[in-house]
Amino acid sequence: MRGADSPPFFALLNSPMNAEALNNTVLTWMENTPFFLVEINISSLNEIVVEFESETDLVTIEDCVSLTQFIESNFDREEEDYALEVSSAGLGYPFKVLKQYIKHIGQEVEVTPKSGKKVTGILLSAGEKEFMIESLVTLKKEGSKRPEKIPQSLIFTYDGVKSTRYVIRF
């Protein structure tokens, strides 16, 4: 997980595409919008995948088309010879940047720690180094015959978890 002000992640494998120019183009399109960049991957074959998300809503197909057209208007396919895929980061996929955590404060998430089993709870807060959820933990109180589910706040560091994802309930 990267911090709020850290640059987007680029997976570059000897890519001829100018990653910095691509990043700047995407960020220019996002100016004065609720969108934020999650990740850009560029393969050695110039296969580009741009993932983004909205702070307020779901990303629509029209949003993806608009960003695709903006990128294509700034990079000549004949010169650069690239394949482009633009998509939302996707519900149900692990969070990659702090803004995704912040967006989902107050919602149910599933955390998979590097050590231990999955924990589900309500995301209470997210900071630069750690986040907190409230989870129902089954405990047997003294003098009680049956265990009860008690809310408990749990703090995780980003580097201490394999993944955190939004829980989708139907």
Architecture of domain 9-88: 2-Layer Sandwich (3.30)
Task: Report pLDDT digits (tens) over 36-79.
Answer: 999 999 998 889 999 999 998 889 999 999 999 999 999 988 88
For the chain, the structural domain boundaries read 9-88, 104-166
Handedness of CA 11, 17, 18, 24 (dihedral sign): negative
CATH topology identical between 9-88 and 104-166: no
**What pTM was computed for the model?**
0.81
Highest mean pLDDT among 10-14, 15-19, 132-136: 132-136
Pairing of strands 35-42, 9-12: parallel
CA separation for the pair 11, 40 (Å, rounded) = 7
Task: Domain 104-166: give its CATH code.
Answer: 2.30.30.100
